[in-house]
Structure 1
Amino acid sequence: MTGSGNDFVFFDARDVRPDRVTSPEIIRAICNRYNGIGADGIVVLEAAVLAADVRIHYFNSDGTPADLCGNATLCSTALSVMLGLARDSEMTLTTPAGLIASRVINGEPEIDLQPVTMIRTGMPIDMVAGEQRMGFSVAGIPHLVILCDDADQVDVEGRGPLLRRHEASGPAGANVNWVSPMPGGHWRYRTFERGVEGETLACGTGAIATAVLLTAWGIATASSVTIRTSSGRDLEVRLTPTETGYAPTLRGEGRVVFRGVIESIQGAAA
């Protein structure tokens, strides 16, 4: 599946035991774009119990588990309806980052994430030419957000690794997002993603963190912020102010590209 170019290999836990496809070695092999299928991550959907319709198990392409991935959750919402795990009008997904309400509207998935309350409008990190402001927020996972002159001119692969592991972001590090204005009030952003350890074409939680910082800085004033991804598709972020931060809703693509059978991965049957 793809969510604005952020791509994932999905498994239905009713058909595939999660332990068969979630070891770090198997994940890295599946996500390998040369000898495997190729993806930014692996997702296993499991019919949940109690408060949720579906449980999401998400793993980065390096084999590490992650609490949340916005675009994977958009894709999970769309696929849950296709697989008959939930209704399109409203569903509840459970993740390590908490419960998420979601739905499919006119064929497009939309998710309500937990409120973003950890927001820093400045960071003790030296900026380089072309960078104007730097902030931090936790939108399910930690993100650095940098307002810059032109996101398309940023050396993401060169600057990203240093900032991703900067001590100011905490021991686990953070995703790094560069954002610049576009004509018409929209915004262009690019993301260096931890766990992938490189630039991805889109990042849903990064779009949320970016919208939160733009709003906290007083630069974005509308209730809805439209962000252009590197795939050329747009993510829409709606923010509802709370007493301590913002409650975000993310809307974007969640599309099945193909279905198939894995014959073998690096010689191991899967």
Structure 2
Amino acid sequence: MRIAFTKCHGSGNDFALIDARADDLAEADWAGIARSLADRAGPVGSDGLLLLTAGDAACAFGMRMFNADGSEAETCLNGLRCVARAGFAALGGDRAAVRLKTSVAQVAMADPLAPGVVTIRETVGPASLDAARWPLIGATQIVEAPVPNLPSARAFTALAMPNPHLVSFVEAVDDAELSALGDVCEAAPDWLPNRANVSFIQQRGGDLFVRTFERGVGLTNACGSAMAAATFAAGLTGRVRFGEPLTVFNAGGLVRAEASADGMVTLCGNATFEWVGSAEIDVARGLAGDLVIERWHNDEIAAWGAAVDQLT
């Protein structure tokens, strides 16, 4: 089948975005399309697939997100900003409630982070400290403590945003160590059957740098829900004050963030459209081919590059 999509990113976390409001494909088809478009060895390459879906009585529109391995995530906050932008363009308006897999988020257009950078504000939560619901076997709540069965003596905080996260504050980020711990969780052991995102967080004054091994993807330039989890965890552990804005940096750029004691987190970041195109998808084999790029958004690409140089 031939699939039309927009290539986009939030803070360097990149996706193929499809307007699926009128589509009725089977779950296996969406999983295959995600694997095809996310394949870094293929013509597109991305961290996952975003779907703009139809709304309901409570929400103007919805979002679904499939990881690079075809699994569906509860949410994706960098992707949500891109879907929100597409939803506003399709339906009009500049703010909305959005239906996610297991929750609802609030989104709105915001003042640009930098000239030419389309910026969306998103509010999600509340964060949950009930690790037993993931499930994380052998623990009910973990705050600044080692994770049972994880081969690491580091102190982690376990929370759902609503997808599961293990976050640890470190002096320096070690990608090899993070990848090794991420691989343990990615194997879906008996004590963590639904896997988890694993992040190392480096405090930089009143700001944070977050590096994440994302469930179903691996090391990413950015993970929006991990940045939200890190912001809340920093407040929970007294590293920052709840209610005070901060900047969360990552390999792909940055977002502005703020968490409150009730578990709600607001992120403000870019929703950059890079190009619009289409590709032939072999769903069964998880392969994409015959990519046609119809329009480049060169001005947005340049604006984001300038913003990263200026702000990071």
Aligning the two structures, in what range does the TM-score lie when normalised by the shorter sequence?
Answer: 0.7 to 0.9
* Contact 1:165/1:174, CA 8 A, preserved across alignment: no
1:240-259 mapped onto 2 (5 Å cutoff): 240-242=260-262, 246-259=263-276
Q: TM-score, normalised by structure 2?
A: 0.75
Q: Provide the rounded CA distance (Å) in 1 between the counterparts of 2:255 and 2:29.
A: 29
* Contact 1:236/1:250, CA 8 A, preserved across alignment: yes
Seen in structure 2, the aligned counterparts of structure 1 residues 36 and 150 have a Cα distance that, compared at 3 Å, is: same
Ranges in structure 1 where 5+ consecutive residues have no aligned partner: none
| 2:225 match | 205
* Contact 1:135/1:213, CA 8 A, preserved across alignment: yes
**Secondary structure in 2 matching 1:159:** helix
Residues 119-153 of structure 1 show CA distances to partners (whole Å, capped at 9, x for unaligned) of 6312334535xx4x311111110000011111256
| 1:101 match | 106
Following superposition, the deviation at residue 171 of structure 1 comes to: 2.3
| 2:241 match | 221
| 1:115 match | 126
Q: Provide the rounded CA distance (Å) in 2 between the counterparts of 1:144 and 1:168.
A: 17
Q: How many residues align?
A: 259
1:1-270 mapped onto 2 (5 Å cutoff): 1-14=8-21, 18-19=25-26, 22-81=29-88, 83-88=89-94, 90-106=95-111, 107-118=118-129, 120-121=142-143, 122=145, 123-124=147-148, 125-127=150-152, 131=154, 133-151=155-173, 155-164=177-186, 170-182=192-204, 184-196=205-217, 198-221=218-241, 223-231=244-252, 233-242=253-262, 246-265=263-282, 266=287
One-letter amino acid matched to 2:90: G
One-letter amino acid matched to 2:68: S
Residues 133-189 of structure 1 show CA distances to partners (whole Å, capped at 9, x for unaligned) of 31111111000001111125653323321245576974212100001122x422111
Residues 230-267 of structure 1 show CA distances to partners (whole Å, capped at 9, x for unaligned) of 11x1122211222xxx1111111111010012145547
Q: TM-score, normalised by structure 1?
A: 0.86
Q: Provide the rounded CA distance (Å) in 2 between the counterparts of 1:169 and 1:185.
A: 35
* Contact 1:134/1:145, CA 8 A, preserved across alignment: yes
Seen in structure 2, the aligned counterparts of structure 1 residues 195 and 20 have a Cα distance that, compared at 3 Å, is: closer
Seen in structure 2, the aligned counterparts of structure 1 residues 13 and 126 have a Cα distance that, compared at 3 Å, is: closer
Q: Percent identity?
A: 24
